[in-house]
């Protein structure tokens, strides 16, 4: 059996098991999608969101791109964020980075990779803003991992600076933004301790409507 035939065979088995365990499973999901979490993560094939946090179908709304970036002109990411908050009413937006991220590593090197260098430019900005701290870390792997953490922090801030999150806060909707980082080494998630849930927690220069 070739790879794609295997995918279909596995899918049939999965659908059969799902109905055997819970006859109403698909009927319920078809009628209603009510996730409480928006996961904004890296496209890396080793980070399947639902699997890592033990959530079933219907429980996590997902946006992924290379190096989990949230850019204020990225209509794709902003549309996911707006739909998740305004329509699905998710309670938590979680930016999930990871150690050993190829995107972060590439952004620390001079080797050109093509179009993606324009996307990864955002990480070079984070590097520049934190140049002193990063340059003080001698070990390249440790420096890359620290930049991955700083990148998550920057993207959490970007989520909070959007009109979407600020509008939600203004109308009294509870939306909490978090930053997590995943280790490919041990499969564990770490909370970077950012819990942002009100405009008081963002710099006044980014505040809207207050």
Question: Would you say 60 or 175 has its CB closer to Co ion?
Answer: 60
Q: Interface residues with Co ion (CB under 5 A)?
A: 42, 44, 101, 103
Question: Would you say 60 or 104 has its CB closer to Co ion?
Answer: 104
User: At its nearest, how many Å lie between Co ion and the CB of residue 101?
Assistant: 3
Q: Of the listed 63, 92, 98, 127, which one is catalytic?
A: 98
Cβ(29)–Cβ(3) below 8 Å = no
Tell me the C-alpha to C-alpha distance, in Å, between residue 91 and each of 14, 87, 157.
29, 12, 17
| Closest C-alpha among 132, 185, 177 to residue 153 | 177
Q: Of the listed 46, 56, 72, 131, which one is catalytic?
A: 46
Residues 6+ apart with CB under 8 A from 144: 99, 100, 101, 104, 105, 108
DSSP string, 183-201: -TTT--EEEEEEEE-SGGG
Residue 94 three-state SS: strand
Q: Is 44 an active-site residue?
A: yes
Q: Is 7 an active-site residue?
A: no
Q: Is 139 an active-site residue?
A: no
Residues 6+ apart with CB under 8 A from 91: 36, 37, 174, 175, 176
Question: Would you say 68 or 166 has its CB closer to Co ion?
Answer: 68
Question: Would you say 47 or 164 has its CB closer to Co ion?
Answer: 47
Q: Is 98 an active-site residue?
A: yes
User: At its nearest, how many Å lie between Co ion and the CB of residue 92?
Assistant: 21
Q: Is 117 an active-site residue?
A: no
Residues 6+ apart with CB under 8 A from 142: none
User: At its nearest, how many Å lie between Co ion and the CB of residue 192?
Assistant: 16
Q: Of the listed 63, 77, 92, 101, which one is catalytic?
A: 101
User: At its nearest, how many Å lie between Co ion and the CB of residue 100?
Assistant: 8
User: At its nearest, how many Å lie between Co ion and the CB of residue 1?
Assistant: 31
Question: Would you say 101 or 160 has its CB closer to Co ion?
Answer: 101
Catalytic residues: 42, 44, 46, 98, 101
């Amino acid at each position: 059996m070739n790879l794609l035939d295997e995918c279909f065979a596995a899918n049939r088995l999965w659908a059969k098991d799902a109905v055997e365990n819970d006859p109403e499973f698909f009927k319920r999901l078809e009628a209603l999608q009510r996730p409480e979490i928006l996961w904004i993560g890296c496209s890396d094939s080793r980070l399947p969101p639902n699997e890592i946090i033990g959530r079933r179908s219907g429980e996590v709304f997902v946006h992924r791109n290379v190096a989990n970036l949230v850019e204020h002109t990225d209509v794709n990411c902003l549309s996911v964020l707006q739909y998740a908050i305004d329509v699905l009413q998710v309670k938590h937006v979680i930016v999930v980075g990871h150690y050993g991220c190829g995107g972060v590593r590439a952004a620390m090197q001079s080797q050109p990779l093509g179009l993606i260098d324009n996307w990864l430019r955002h990480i070079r900005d984070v590097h520049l803003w934190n140049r002193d701290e990063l340059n003080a870390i001698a070990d390249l792997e440790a420096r890359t991992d620290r930049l991955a953490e700083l990148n998550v922090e920057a993207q959490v801030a970007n989520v909070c600076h959007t009109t979407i999150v600020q509008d939600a806060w203004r109308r009294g909707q509870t939306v909490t933004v978090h930053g997590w980082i995943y280790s490919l080494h041990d499969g564990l998630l770490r909370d970077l301790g950012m819990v942002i849930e009100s405009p008081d927690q963002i710099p006044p220069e980014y505040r809207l409507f207050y």
